[in-house]
Amino acid sequence: MASPEETGGGSGSWSSNNNNIDLEEAQKIILRWDSSASEEAREKMIFDGDRHEADRYLLAVDEIQRSMSSASISATAAAAEGGNGEDSSKDQAQDKVNSAIQIAMARLEDEFRNILLSHTAPIEEDALTDNPAAAAAESSSSTSAAESSTAAAESGEEDRLSSSGGSGSQVLEETNLNLSDPIPRTGSSVSNSSGSYRSTSSIKELDLIPELAVYDLRSIAERMISAGYLRECIQVYGSVRKSAVDSSFRRLGIEKLSIGDIQRLEWDALESKIRRWIRAAKVCVRILFASEKKLCEQIFDGIETAAVDEACFVETVKGPAVQLFNFAEAVSISRRSPEKMFKILDLHDALVDLMPDIESVFDAKSADSIRVQAAEILSRLAEAARGILSEFENAVLREPSKIPVPGGTIHPLTRYVMNYISLISDYKQTLIELIMSKPSTGSRYSGDPTTPDMEFAELESKPPLALHLIWIIVILQFNLDGKSKLYKDVSLAHLFMMNNVHYIVQKVKGSTELREMIGDDYLRKLTGKFRQSATNYQRATWVGVLYCLRDEGLHVSGSFSSGVSKSALRERFKSFNGMFEEVHRTQATWLIPDTQLREELRISISEHLIPAYRSFLGRFRSHIESGRHPENYIKYSVEDLESAVLDFFEGCPVSQHSRKRSQ
């Protein structure tokens, strides 16, 4: 049997310009390629072979369609003239034409599918990158930001819980905030503080199918749609291109997860997927979906009056787009917790960045639902960020741990909160736009002992975000003040407050963004508070010790007396020795983790203690040394005291200090 290309089709069937064929020849061509009647026709595809034969087939379809149109007009005219039913032969001819067009449409549908499948290949890896140079820079920025975040979280000295009795873990177990976890590392949106978002110029359209294949697809689509086979054409196109989009999704790591699946994920797993989603969403909108839209326009734009290209595009990508945005939607409505704040802000900023592109790519009326979904997700992410900030404030205020941290060092809550608000300040540009209302604070007139007072009169010029950050510091201090009362030693309570407020001050000073929002006026207030705590510590500890070195009560009158009561003097030295030994033994185990602050407090102690002791010893040493066993009363030289002060606030027993000095 000859192949369809070789049978029939003599030159007599073509007009002189080889541009038209008659109806009879057109029917023969259609029937020769009827895959339901010929094994040969089933095995071969017209558009895979000779271009001349493909063109002849399209001309045959055109002739059949013209014949149908003419027959329709004739039938209408005959009916108007009252036809007498004598044209049964015409009816038979019309049936042949109808049959031929059905066969032709079935064949064109197969050809359409085959061309699409033949030229649908996975997009190259380098093409699935939203601006490779920017991606590399973003990766570098992410690494740098993550390192900075790590440094911020670890800045300030270790609080040495492990070397101070190990009860720090119990503190963490009792808290509502998960203080044992580091602040979530974020490396993608710190740069967003600049506030500049990319526009639709970032769209990168690819040629998904070669130009000649696009021409053939458009030629087939025109004829199928003209014959009333629009739905079939769109279905074939959509099914093939959906598979291509699904393949690209898999290469981008986008999984088919329901909203319930996403909400059941552990946070660590979800955090990783959020990072991947942000990268993938940019590629999907700016490259994948944009390129699919371009292909639809190349094939379908301008065919008939209906927006066929828009319908095909939406048919192809609506499912994948919904799948893509369902992930962000699931995150936006998931349970709120402080550690999610920064990834939610990353998602928010990524969507803000993408919205112009989403509006551009999905500008068709039939794509309204996709644009609306993206806008609603953006709104919910903004609301989630506001809600998390409010819940974080409440959690800081109510954090319930009742075990004092050993040595009066920096409380884990203080580290967590200050690292957290330092990261909040990195997202200043975004949050200034999202946080529009002042925090709900206490008032001096409220009489509520569980909430601190805060008046905004002197802070009216600050944006709401700055007021929230100041309010968080206020409630942190309020909570810390309550925790300081857990210490039985009032000196240690003051040292604890000094350490923690000093840490707050250092964190504010260490962040340009945070310091700018907090303001130097409030920073001076904080500095005054930790200095006042240092003064309170010195009074509580050293007033009693120095009281032993006073002259009052030592002098007696009488002609046979030297003017000094030796018994009173001996008691005074014994009291001093006992009190200093106790302070030395106890406060060597207390901890001031900041080296400079520790040294400053030691110097301040020495400036009060050493001159007073040197003067007292100089005035009364001879009275003790002239008696029996002076070593029982004068236990310290001035140099001994100076050395002993160096043991203070190291966080370990005196015996360990002695070993360190001897090594």
Determine which helix (DSSP H) or strand (DSSP E) holds 584, and give its type and residue range.
helix 566-587
- Can you tell me the distance from the alpha carbon of 361 to that of 203, in angstroms, rounded to the nearest whole number? 9
pLDDT at 74 over 70: no
> Residue 659's pLDDT band (boundaries 50, 70, 90)?
very low
Give CA 530 to chain center in angstroms. Answer: 34
- Interval 587-599 mean pLDDT: 97
- The C-alpha atoms of residue 548 and residue 380 are separated, in whole angstroms, by 66
Would the pLDDT of 330 be above 50?
yes
Going by pLDDT thresholds of 50, 70 and 90, the confidence category of residue 196 is very low
Assess whether pLDDT exceeds 60 at residue 80.
no
The predicted model gives 1-27 an average pLDDT of 54
Dihedral sign for Cα atoms in the order 527, 530, 532, 534? negative
Instruction: Judge whether residue 384 has pLDDT over 70.
Output: yes
Q: What residue type is assigned to position 428 of the chain?
A: K
Taking 80 as the threshold, does the pLDDT of residue 67 lie above it? yes
CA 143/CA 187 separation, integer angstroms:
7
pLDDT of residue 457: 63
pLDDT of residue 13: 33
Tell me the mean pLDDT in the region 187-205: 51
Name which of 208, 238, 246 is nearest 221 in CA terms: 238
CA distances from residue 609 to 425, 472, 494, 567, 643 in whole angstroms, order as listed: 43, 38, 19, 23, 12
Averaged pLDDT, 166-185: 45
Check residue 287 and report its DSSP letter: I
Q: What's the Cα-to-Cα distance from 388 to each of 343, 377, 383, 431, 439, rounded to whole Å?
A: 12, 16, 9, 12, 13
Here the tokens at position 455 are: 């008046």
pLDDT of 416: 96
- Retrieve residue 626's tokens: 């002239």
pLDDT, residue 446, reads 53
pLDDT score recorded for residue 88: 64
pLDDT above 60: residue 49: yes
Please report the pLDDT score of residue 592 as a whole number: 97
> In terms of pLDDT, which residue wins out, 356 or 43?
356
Instruction: Taking residues 500-506, report their average pLDDT.
Output: 97
Q: Give the CB-side neighbour count of residue 405, counting CA atoms within 13 A.
A: 29
Q: What is the pLDDT of residue 232?
A: 93
Q: What amino acid is encoded at 352 in this protein? A: V
CB burial of residue 346 (10 Å; 0-12, 13-18, 19+): buried
Higher pLDDT, 460 or 328: 328
Average pLDDT taken over every residue of the chain: 82
Please give the C-alpha separations between residue 111 and each of 50, 108, 625, in angstroms, as whole numbers.
14, 5, 117
- Gap between the Cα atoms of 342 and 427, Å rounded: 8
Distances (CA, A) of 279 to 106, 274, 334, 650: 42, 9, 21, 48
| pLDDT > 60? residue 432 | yes
C-alpha 593/C-alpha 408 separation (Å) is 10
Query: Under a CB-based contact definition with an 8 Å cutoff, are residues 195 and 429 in contact?
Result: yes
pLDDT number for residue 450:
76
The 10s digit of each residue's pLDDT in 443-485 is 554 556 777 877 666 677 889 999 999 999 999 999 999 999 9
Query: 276: burial class by Cβ within 10 Å (0-12, 13-18, 19+)?
Result: middle
d(CA 459, CA 467): 8
What pLDDT score does 510 carry? Answer: 93
67, 537, 543, 553, 605 from 550: Cα distances, Å: 125, 21, 11, 8, 17
Residue 417 · residue 501 · CB < 8 Å: no
CB 599 within 8 A of CB 658: no
Q: How far is CA 315 from CA 93, 122, 364, 651, in A?
A: 38, 20, 12, 68
Per-residue confidence band for 5, with pLDDT thresholds at 50, 70 and 90: very low
Task: Say if residue 658's pLDDT is above 90.
Answer: no
Higher-confidence residue of 88 and 480: namely 480
User: Is the confidence at residue 198, as pLDDT, over 50?
Assistant: no
Paired with 555 in beta bridges are 564
Burial class (CB in 10 A: 0-12, 13-18, 19+), 557: exposed
Q: What sign has the CA pseudo-torsion 550, 556, 562, 565?
A: negative
Question: Is the model's pLDDT at 156 over the cut of 50?
Answer: no
pLDDT at 657: 55
